[in-house]
Structure 1
């Protein structure tokens, strides 16, 4: 299926890790034994999870700077997982166009989160991109 499948797999894994408070390699191994991905999808998921784990404070800082009237701890775990993936792509993956990252994040929350979440995600990511473009 490609990168869309990989993004959704990454979101589900991040969500699971967050709910279980288990970001271990063992949790990653269990996930890959339970779900099947092709090699390019698995490569994306591994890179995304490792980069997000290594840079979670920086990624969360980017998110927090663009929350208006919100605290990062109040964000639904699905929405936070989607935001972390989008920020990872925007900041660390120059091979993925920013607009693609934003559009995919919006489509993912439309499928997996509340009816209004896509507006919230769009606002946070739009603010992030505007601030990056100013720098």
Structure 2
């Protein structure tokens, strides 16, 4: 499974998690049963990392979203932003620019056109706030 496929499957699970009160393990089981979402150890690692850090990530979203509070952001965009910010802040293997580009691609695929600019703007603002060595260390 490519990194893009891992991210896409993780996005679907995180979005589903935002819509339901079920434990993530239930979502994994349902994904296996329906065979619509591929779940492997890398997908689980990304999903569980995002869920674990969601409080910190949501604070970042709130501080870099100039126009909307976290409660006013669609769940699709929250899921996309959470993955990208998790990768930017906690995944040393994903370059900052790659995380932003992949989030924009997810947004183009699953969200409204206007939301793609919003996602890009939030992530670009976050990237500009990082120390220069962080943005180039992953590149």
TM-score by length of 2: 0.86
Deviations along 1:43-79, one digit per CA (max 9) or x if unpaired, are 2211111111111101111111101021101111111
The residue aligned with 1:42 is 40
The residue aligned with 1:66 is 64
Of the two structures, which has the highest relative contact order with CA contacts closer than 8 Å and spacing of 6 or more? 1
Residue 27 of structure 1: how far off its partner (Å): 2.1
Residue 115 of structure 1: how far off its partner (Å): 1.1
Gaps of 5+ in 1: none
Gaps of 5+ in 2: 135-139
The residue aligned with 2:5 is 5
- Write out aligned runs for 1:10-29 (5 A): 10-29=10-29
Query: Equivalents in 1 of 2:104, 2:43: separation in Å?
Result: 19
The residue aligned with 2:101 is 103
The alignment yields a C-alpha RMSD, in angstroms, of 1.8
Q: What is the count of residue pairs matched by the alignment?
A: 132
Query: Equivalents in 1 of 2:59, 2:33: separation in Å?
Result: 32
List structure 1 segments (4+ residues) > 4 angstroms apart after TM superposition: none
